[in-house]
Amino acid sequence: MLAAVRTFPAAAQAPAPGDADAHYAAREHLPDAQAAAAIWQRRLEANPHDFDAAWKLARAAYYLGNRLPEDARGTAFETGMAAARRAIAARPDRPEGYFWLAATMGGLAELRGPGAGLRYRGAIRENLERVLEIDPGFQKGSADRALGRWYFKVPRLFGGSRRKAEAHQRASLVHDPDSIASRFFLAEVLVADDRHDEAAALLREIEALPVDPAWAPEDRDFKARARAMRATLGNRR
């Protein structure tokens, strides 16, 4: 969802070599995200049934697919899709593989345009609905948030619905009332419906909310996008 690569100074204490989780926690420094992915890739090559390595590689690949130079993004998303499928094969009763398969499919669809979007749209929704069946509160309502995006981005002719998009974003906020991402996506829906005052109120809330340490890079990006959207709304008045 982000076109440009953003890098930040490394943490005061660099992650220990081989500690993939620590590297991923420092992912705003892009080489750390790449290091984490490489470690999980090696683990998965050594043991194709390593569930944790599989879903964590898919998650890292999604992050990289949104931030690497454009010519490397497709490969990252495809790597993530393959890893997510291994996670599903290893633990079909767990939500992680289904969620990150949907996420990486969505990233690849956005990258490759409408044709890919049509190709993957059914599978993306089915995987997210599977997450909801297993654990509606997974990752603080992430499946509802992603389904809300699905209903917002997909044309009405193919199943899209702003009403359902809003309902899913509001459902995700039940699981995480302080979610910056859900507020931003809900604000997008409200703007599309010309409910600018409601959207502006959400964007002001985003500015005041603290960054979630577990999702700090993503939250900072959404805060920046929220400021840009507020400026746009102001120009419309």
Contacts of residue 178, Cβ cutoff 8 Å, sequence gap at least 6: 209, 210, 212
Q: State pTM to two decimals.
A: 0.91
- The Cα–Cα gap between 61 and 39 comes to 12
- Name residue 161's amino acid: S
C-alpha dist (Å) from residue 61 to 54, 72, 220: 11, 11, 19
Residue-wise pLDDT for 62-93, tens only, equals: 999 999 999 999 999 999 999 999 999 999 99
Instruction: Tell me the torsion sign for CA atoms 137, 58, 97, 25.
Output: negative
Give the pLDDT confidence score for residue 1 in this predicted structure: 30
**Structure-model confidence comparison of residues 13 and 154, the more confident one:** 154
**Is the pLDDT assigned to residue 2 strictly greater than 70?**
no
In the three-class reduction of DSSP (H, G, I as helix; E, B as strand; rest coil), residue 172 is classed as: helix
Q: Minimum mean pLDDT among 12-26, 31-45, 49-63, 115-129: which range?
A: 12-26
- The Cα–Cα gap between 99 and 4 comes to 24
Give the pLDDT confidence score for residue 138 in this predicted structure: 97
Rounded to 10 deg, the angle between the 70-90 and 30-46 helix axes is 40
Res. 236 pLDDT band, cuts 50 70 90: low
